[in-house]
Chain A
Amino acid sequence: MDFPYLTIASAAAALRQGEFSAIELTRAALQRIEAYNGDLNAYITLDPEGALAAAEVADRRLKSGDATPLTGIPIAMKDIFCTRGLRTTCSSRMLADFVPPYDATVVRKLREAGAVMMGKTNMDEFAMGSSTETSYFGITRNPWDRERIPGGSSGGSAAAMAASLCLGATGTDTGGSIRQPAALTGLTGLKPTYGRVSRYGMIAFASSLDQAGPMTWTAEDAALLLQAMAGHDPLDSTSIDAPVPDYAAHLNGSIKGLRIGVPGEYFGEGLDPALREVLDNAQQLFRKLGAVIFPVSLPHTEYAIPTYYILAPAEASSNLARYDGIKFGYRCDQPRDLSDLYTRTRAEGFGSEVKRRIMLGTYVLSSGYYDAYYRKAQKVRRLIAGDFETAFHQVDLLLTPTTPSTAFRLGEKSDDPVRMYLSDIFTINVNLAGLPGISVPCGVDGQGLPMGMQLIGRPLEEAVMLKAAHAYQQATGWHKRRPRL
């Protein structure tokens, strides 16, 4: 077994052919974790006993013929999903000792599919960040270059995947937190349509934007993982009640005649020239495969960052009001009175980026500023969503860069919140509009660092995105590169 070069699809086939057992596969993942996790800090909580027990059950299911494509597959779970009996921290001191009494719907579904959960991965605290440098549990390093960030907020999942410490991982994406780390670590990362995957038990950041999705090597694996994660959930009132298509069955369709739009606003001055060249090549390849490329315009693109950094902190400041030191989570020592309990618990339990966003959100929602900021941003959000609606009258998919540059150095942007916020410039529009987006590896820069392109689809048309990404991967080899560790 050559673990780093396995995919979910190839491992599932090998498990069925008896090339190795789920126990052997899980042990191989544990050995790699033992060798590499200490330095990378991809996982912050490991569950070897739970993983081996799940692998044993998986082997029985594989024998009895009652297996799914995920049965026996080692996966990593972002530490934002509640796991019954297993510490769930959101990478915050506030939840450092929190052991949830229930499973998130995503966790339950993946367990039921027979996936083997190796542990919980590091992230920016409460998913607020683009570099995984705000975690209470320390930074995560990029397996392609350990002096660089793996992206964020799902940076632990990205590093666990890129270093082959699992075969599939979950992430969540509020402004790019699946797609950006996927792009910076050479993965395929998919943010589904808002409401496609249940948010129940997924610790809330900005509830109108948060969405969970898969991080894998290939579009085929993303299809398999999304299949198990997606679907209506009565426990999430924003969950969409629409049938889930068979994503894997749609992968191999032809993309002849598929109309792909290229929005000029995403190819402006800030874009790394190497990325521009790689994306030109991708367009040419899609043309060769039979797709038709159109220039389109998304005129409100430049307003996305200010809109997002009003709405997301506003929602976050409300969501994080629950951390008051009373029912669960951290509580300060020796509170003098209730007010002291609240203010000290929150001052000590939250890190600086989380506090900054709570302050920002509280400010834009406060009396006298609500209309000028929050309401204004909600209006601009409609204009941004309208841009996409118009574009999708002309085209089936949009093609853009995922990030403005490849992985930056550790510490390079951590002292400057505004510079850090700008790293989400190509991804946050998709969250504001609630659309599905996927990042696909499409090249490397001069230092061998991975680059990603983003495909954006119509609501609930994940299958179209996956088909295009799969066609691209059948014709290229970028998704087959692995870092030397």
Chain B
Amino acid sequence: MSLPIETVQHVAKLARLRITGEEAEVYAQQLSRILGLMAQLDRLPTDDVAPMSHAVAVALPERPDRVTGVDQREALLACAPESEEGCFRVPKILE
């Protein structure tokens, strides 16, 4: 199975990755080969098998709804590429 370039470009858009036309062609080739490998699974009947999402059967634990974290606003903002007046700074999204 070969992946059309349009599909590769669509997936790149979903993944928020800018790719060049040249890259799209490389990905189309490589992903097709990898997907070919995955086609092996089609040989295996799995209609009656329940999907397994985790290795251990764990129920999500609950905890009391209490404030536990200290105020780390400054420490967290210090990790940001750009911040201003206690906020993360991003390009304008509305005109």
Taking Cβ atoms with an 8 Å cutoff, the residues of A that contact B are 98-101, 193-195, 208-209, 234, 237-238, 240, 300, 302-303, 305-307, 309-310, 317, 321, 324-331, 335-344, 346-347, 350, 355-356, 358-360, 362-363, 366, 373, 375-383, 385, 417-418, 421, 431-435, 459
Which residue of the partner chain A has the closest CB to B19? A347
Taking A300-B44, A321-B16, A347-B17 as given, write out 8 further A-B residue pairs in contact, using a Cβ cutoff of 8 Å, ordered by the A residue number. Answer: A101-B79, A208-B55, A209-B55, A341-B91, A356-B27, A363-B3, A433-B55, A459-B56
Q: How far is the CA of A305 from the CA of B36 in the complex (A)?
A: 12
30 contacts between A and B (CB under 8 A): A99-B79, A101-B76, A101-B78, A193-B56, A194-B54, A195-B58, A237-B61, A238-B56, A309-B38, A326-B80, A331-B82, A337-B91, A338-B93, A339-B16, A356-B27, A359-B8, A360-B34, A362-B15, A363-B7, A363-B31, A366-B10, A366-B11, A379-B46, A379-B52, A380-B44, A383-B44, A385-B52, A421-B37, A434-B55, A435-B55
Given the known A-B contacts A344-B18, A359-B11, A418-B34, are A98 and B79 also in contact in the complex, defined by CB atoms under 8 Å? yes
**Highest count of chain B CB atoms <10 Å: which of A195, A362, A421, A433:** A362
CB distance from A336 to the nearest CB of B (A): 7
CB distance from A354 to the nearest CB of B (A): 10
Binary CB contact string for chain B from 54 to 95 against chain A (1 if under 8 A, 0 otherwise): 111010110100000000100110111110000010111100
B51 interfacial by beta-carbon distance below 8 Å: yes
Cβ A194 vs Cβ B91 within 8 A: no
Which residue of the partner chain A has the closest CB to B75? A101
CB distance from A379 to the nearest CB of B (A): 4
Q: How far is the CA of A338 from the CA of B38 in the complex (A)?
A: 35
Taking Cβ atoms with an 8 Å cutoff, the residues of B that contact A are 3, 7-8, 10-12, 14-19, 27, 30-31, 33-35, 37-42, 44, 46, 49-56, 58, 60-61, 63, 72, 75-76, 78-82, 88, 90-93
Which listed residue, A310, A326, A434, touches B88 by the CB 8 Å rule?
A326
- Chain B residues near A321 (CB, 8 Å)? 16
Q: How far is the CA of A346 from the CA of B12 in the complex (A)?
A: 11
- Chain B residues near A335 (CB, 8 Å)? 91
Q: How far is the CA of A356 from the CA of B35 in the complex (A)?
A: 12
Cβ A324 vs Cβ B38 within 8 A: no
Q: How far is the CA of A434 from the CA of B76 in the complex (A)?
A: 33
Cβ B18 vs Cβ A307 within 8 A: no
Cβ A358 vs Cβ B17 within 8 A: yes
- Chain B residues near A194 (CB, 8 Å)? 54-56
Cβ A238 vs Cβ B58 within 8 A: yes
Q: How far is the CA of A347 from the CA of B92 in the complex (A)?
A: 21
Which listed residue, A338, A366, A376, touches B91 by the CB 8 Å rule?
A338
Which residue of the partner chain A has the closest CB to B72? A101
- Chain A residues near B75 (CB, 8 Å)? 101
Cβ B80 vs Cβ A327 within 8 A: yes
Given the known A-B contacts A337-B92, A417-B34, A434-B55, are A383 and B49 also in contact in the complex, defined by CB atoms under 8 Å? yes
